[in-house]
Structure 1
Amino acid sequence: MADSEPGVPREAEPRRPKRAWRAWLIRLAVAASAGLLYYLSFAPRPLWWLAPIAFAAFALVLRGRKFRGGFGYGFVFGVAFFLTHLLWLQDFLGREFGPWPWLGLSVTLALYFGLGGFLITVVSRLPLAPLWGALAFIALETPRTWFPLGGFPWGRVGFSQPEGAFLSLASIGGAPLVGFAVVLTGFGLAALLARLWQTRHVRDRALVWPVAFTLVPVLAGLAVWPTIGTGAQDGSLTVATVQGNAPDLGIALQGQRGVLRDNSLAESARLLTDIRSGRVAKPDLLIWPETSTAIYGDDPALDQMVSAFGVPAVIGALVRRPDGQDENDAVVWDPRTGPGQRYTKQDLVPFGEYVPARALARLVTPFVDNTPEMRAGDGTNAALSAAGTKVGVFICYETAFDGPARDAVREGGELLVVPTNNAWYGPGEMSYQQLAMTRLRAVEHGRAAVVSATTGVSALIAPDGTITSSTGLFTADALVGRVPLRTATTLSDRLGAWTEYALLALAIAGVAGGVVLRFRTRRGRAGRTAGDTAD
């Protein structure tokens, strides 16, 4: 056995690895708990304030860690979050697929959190480290909109804030700014707690920046709230949205699309009866959810239904074009002239509306050949002319991406309409998560929003993100309500993607600064060591 170090009792040697092992397990448990806490901050729970606490716990775990530890603990944080946040994928795919798609996607996305932990350790020695750490973490949400599977932005930090202090910041810089504010508050809180633990003195000047990072984002959000406009600027509109409902069959519902159409027609007939009896107001605009019917040519039944209402409709439909290609469209249907202007979904759902690497996917699942290969839209007609106004449309999955809603407002949309088909995803949390995203979009663009869902949750949302009325899951229902039409653009509209680009550029600068600082520190140590050796 090798000799002990001078001055260290031989019997103390075995205790060191034991203590290190115990500390490692504690950090691992805290990282996983932080991921679960972050998950709990998302809808349907109104616990938005848990998100900064989760990031504070995560930052404390990373404090003093090396690069490898930063990546590992970040990965654990991400795995705990995504496994719970994306559990609804099991309802979508069913037992036939097994847990592998859910596990594979969760682990892949958790790698971004691992990389985030790694970058946070890179910038941890810079002045104002919580600021650079928050920038580095939020910057990784940008590539997550590109990869995997053409981008999967579910679980962005901003989407945990459909209400509360931070939401108003969406009107300034959209989801990226909201997410940055949440993470900065959490990292500032961690730095504050660590400094207080070290100094035990509340008047220490070193507390100034941690206190600022903790409080300024919250105070900024509260200060912006009075600027959020909700009043009508170009009149108002009475809208009706039909939720026909469908059986909870997951992906097997692909083969029963006729059920969605029949149920939508039946619920529309019930709504028309209520209108004629005076129980509900006559709408100016009727809305059907995403792919609630298939249109392969002339459709006398839809013509008759819209004519009976006597008002234009926006029909979410699977449309087969003359060249034989299917599209996911929102079609304006006039009560006299029939179908007209349409918007085609740009961001398609992988394995639901198209299959990435179809030949490879065929090796692991028998359902590939039953999945259609839809054609994506090019972003034109994002604002449809209907009911005397411009209706901005983005469809279902597109809610998670910044571009489609921004396009709709830039083209003059005075109201946002979000047709969605969540019939595939079961009674889990997916529908509520998506509704939370639309609430953020309403504030981001200063517009009322109508979520029209096949099986729920359908909702009318005010421009400040408040839900004014909503339906339940897997129920046949209809909503009728008055919504304001607005023309003013928010600062977020005017800045567009530049907010995201600015945060990304600052993050890159911070990481570069962290690398340079560590390189210089290492060279300085090497120089001192060489000098000591020469002496």
Structure 2
Amino acid sequence: MATPTLHDGSDPAGGSTHDVPADALARARRDRRRLRRQGRLRRLLGAGGLRILVAVLGGLALYASYAPSTLWWLAPVGLGLLGLAVHGRRIRPALGLGLLFGLSFYVPLLIWTSVYIGPVAVSLAVLEAMLTAPVAAALAFSSRRAAHWRPGTATVLWPLWAAALWVAGEALRARFPFGGFPWGGIAFSQPDGPLLPAASLIGATGLAFLTALAGFALTGLARAGWAARGRWRPARPLLLLAVVALIAPFVVGVAGRATVQTGEDAPRSVIAVIQGNVPEPGLEFNATRRAVTQLHADRTRALAAAVRAGTAPAPRLVVWPENSSDIDPYRDPVAAEMISDAARDIGVPILVGAVVDASDDPDDRGSYNMGIVWDPQTGPGQTYTKRHPVPFAEYMPWRSFFRLFTSWVDRAGFFLPGDAPGNLDVAGVPVGDVICFEVVYENLVRDVVAGGAQVLVVQTNNATFGWTDETYQQQAMSRVRAVENGREVLIAATSGVSAVIAPTGAVESSIPLFTPGYLTPSVPLISTTTPGTVLGAPVEWGLTGAAMLALVWQAIVSMRRGRPDRRTPDGAGTVGAR
């Protein structure tokens, strides 16, 4: 049987022919499509596409370093990959790479925000990622300027500059917008790593700088290694300098051990932490608000019974979590009596977390998130009002504007901020109280330590976030704060995880999620101030200022010199390639 042929006068290879078999023509067309696909794949996996992949992997690696993970080393790896992705890029593509890095980091890190309030909460992760993009652009700009330094100078100084730029970016996210949200601070990836002691020496900001320095030193090491291929001897000094830049942060971490507080010589007192649990997780945890208060009162009475039986030590004071009285105990006699009964039974003051109405006017929806010292004899006394209510949760900025887009804004609270640090005298113990997310703000914790607090208390309600990683991420922050300030940290959570954290950052004891219980640790009452408490703010401002001044200076130099040469001095390739 004859093979069908075509007589269109065309040759699939580009020439002209007659009587081409149909199957040959089909194969040629398939080959042509395959070559086009391969060309697109090569372009995708070229400089731009490969950088996109590296940026996304960097964000995921950084996320994987945060609690409940203990893989602290993935944080430097993640930043090292970001450095590789943006190194030598122009500002516009670097912005895109930074956005992709930020999304791949913040979306999984903050996924707990969407568990009960839906995809609207993902906007927070998007906003944080958008604030990461300018940092990536600054890193790219700095790498292009560094390309005109001597190779050895660039190998050492660019990681320092890049790490300072990262700190500047975190300083921005800690303050903007609406008072900032520094939840993804890189220092909080390190509670299980060898760099942690540095927080006692140079503060959490210094810890963040060292972590970023290790990451961008990895970038320098990778680039020096690539440049050394086939010419080891002349590239050997660059590799050695890159290794020195990588090791330096860990040397500082070792040096920081000398300043870490242990509390061995400090006086001690037993402080009880109560976790009463809630009827159910989620936004409706307090639908039966009296039940939450009752559960905490019951657990306190169980502790009192154990003390009388001699199976538990007698506490000097008791700590209840945030929202343990979600009814205003100043106005509701039943809630007040529940707390008073529990305080009389245990015989010592209770630090109660309560929601308190801000006005006698029933139409005024304003309220305070408050810690109240409740004496067994005299009732409520000293108070602390949360200074930094959480935007889009405890209060809604621009409520009328955002209501145009979603009715979810009306689920946000109407909490008002306090104006004084949480320094309380509870049974003669100087307590520093911070409420829930406030532990992430360095200045709020530093204020109570500067005010004389000998122990830190974090009253928190994590029931809203169910079984997610939120509570473990918050615990990691408390561990860093313990080392930074040289204080024992007691976490009292409605539904867990409540914990006792030593000044060394070690978790000494805890109560699992959604499990009622109590802790009775013997707590060191430490008065000594760490260098980290004193230097935390100056280190942040110093690094941020130095990074910004360096950017401005290099921009001025660039404008004076005109367009920079597109080749790097060390022959590493075209730094301006798109």
**Fold conserved between structures, TM > 0.5:** yes
Query: Kindly tell me: are residues 257 and 350 of structure 1, through their superposed partners in 2, closer, same or farther at Cα, counting changes over 3 Å?
Result: farther
Distance in 2, Cα, partners of 1:353 & 1:208: 51
- The answer to whether 1:456 aligns with 2:496 is yes
Partner of 1:27: 51
Partner of 2:175: 146
Distance in 2, Cα, partners of 1:400 & 1:370: 24
Unaligned runs of 5+ in 1: 1-12, 527-535
Per mean C-alpha deviation after superposition, the further-off stretch among 186-195 and 206-215 is 206-215
Per mean C-alpha deviation after superposition, the further-off stretch among 353-362 and 243-252 is 243-252
- The answer to whether 1:398 aligns with 2:438 is yes
Given that 1:67 and 1:122 are in contact with CA atoms closer than 8 Å, whether structure 2 keeps it comes out as yes
TM-score (norm 1): 0.90
Cα deviation per residue 1:253-299 (whole Å; 9 max; x = unaligned)? 35443332122122222222222222211111100001110223351
Q: Decide which of 255, 265, 268 is 2:300's aligned counterpart.
A: 268
Q: Decide which of 251, 258, 272 is 2:283's aligned counterpart.
A: 251
Distance in 1, Cα, partners of 2:227 & 2:180: 42
Given that 1:312 and 1:387 are in contact with CA atoms closer than 8 Å, whether structure 2 keeps it comes out as yes
Given that 1:245 and 1:263 are in contact with CA atoms closer than 8 Å, whether structure 2 keeps it comes out as yes
Distance in 2, Cα, partners of 1:122 & 1:16: 30
Distance in 1, Cα, partners of 2:430 & 2:371: 14
Query: Kindly tell me: are residues 332 and 346 of structure 1, through their superposed partners in 2, closer, same or farther at Cα, counting changes over 3 Å?
Result: same
Distance in 1, Cα, partners of 2:310 & 2:386: 36
Partner of 2:477: 437
Counterpart of 1:99, as a letter, is P
Deviation, 1:211, is: 2.0
Distance in 2, Cα, partners of 1:454 & 1:173: 33
Distance in 1, Cα, partners of 2:264 & 2:429: 13
Given that 2:358 and 2:367 are in contact with CA atoms closer than 8 Å, whether structure 1 keeps it comes out as yes
Partner of 2:273: 241
SS at match of 1:123: helix
Unaligned runs of 5+ in 2: 1-34, 147-153, 567-578
Deviation, 1:522, is: 2.4
Query: Kindly tell me: are residues 403 and 524 of structure 1, through their superposed partners in 2, closer, same or farther at Cα, counting changes over 3 Å?
Result: closer
Given that 1:37 and 1:51 are in contact with CA atoms closer than 8 Å, whether structure 2 keeps it comes out as yes
- The answer to whether 1:84 aligns with 2:124 is no
Given that 2:72 and 2:193 are in contact with CA atoms closer than 8 Å, whether structure 1 keeps it comes out as yes
Distance in 2, Cα, partners of 1:514 & 1:248: 57
Query: Kindly tell me: are residues 513 and 256 of structure 1, through their superposed partners in 2, closer, same or farther at Cα, counting changes over 3 Å?
Result: farther
Q: Decide which of 310, 326, 338 is 1:301's aligned counterpart.
A: 338
Partner of 2:574: none
Deviation, 1:228, is: 0.9
Q: Decide which of 274, 292, 314 is 1:282's aligned counterpart.
A: 314
Bigger radius of gyration, 1 or 2?
Answer: 2
Counterpart of 1:379, as a letter, is A
Distance in 2, Cα, partners of 1:430 & 1:395: 15
Distance in 2, Cα, partners of 1:33 & 1:46: 18
Deviation, 1:480, is: 1.2
- Aligned-residue RMSD, C-alpha: 2.1
Partner of 2:67: 43
Partner of 1:109: 128
Distance in 1, Cα, partners of 2:58 & 2:469: 20
Distance in 2, Cα, partners of 1:386 & 1:407: 18
Length, aligned pairs only: 508
Per mean C-alpha deviation after superposition, the further-off stretch among 415-424 and 130-139 is 130-139
Distance in 2, Cα, partners of 1:248 & 1:33: 37
Partner of 2:383: 342
TM-score (norm 2): 0.84
Distance in 2, Cα, partners of 1:243 & 1:519: 61
Q: Decide which of 467, 486, 509 is 1:446's aligned counterpart.
A: 486
Given that 1:248 and 1:424 are in contact with CA atoms closer than 8 Å, whether structure 2 keeps it comes out as no
Percent identity for Structure 1 against Structure 2: 37
Given that 1:233 and 1:485 are in contact with CA atoms closer than 8 Å, whether structure 2 keeps it comes out as no
Cα deviation per residue 1:437-458 (whole Å; 9 max; x = unaligned)? 0110001100001000001110
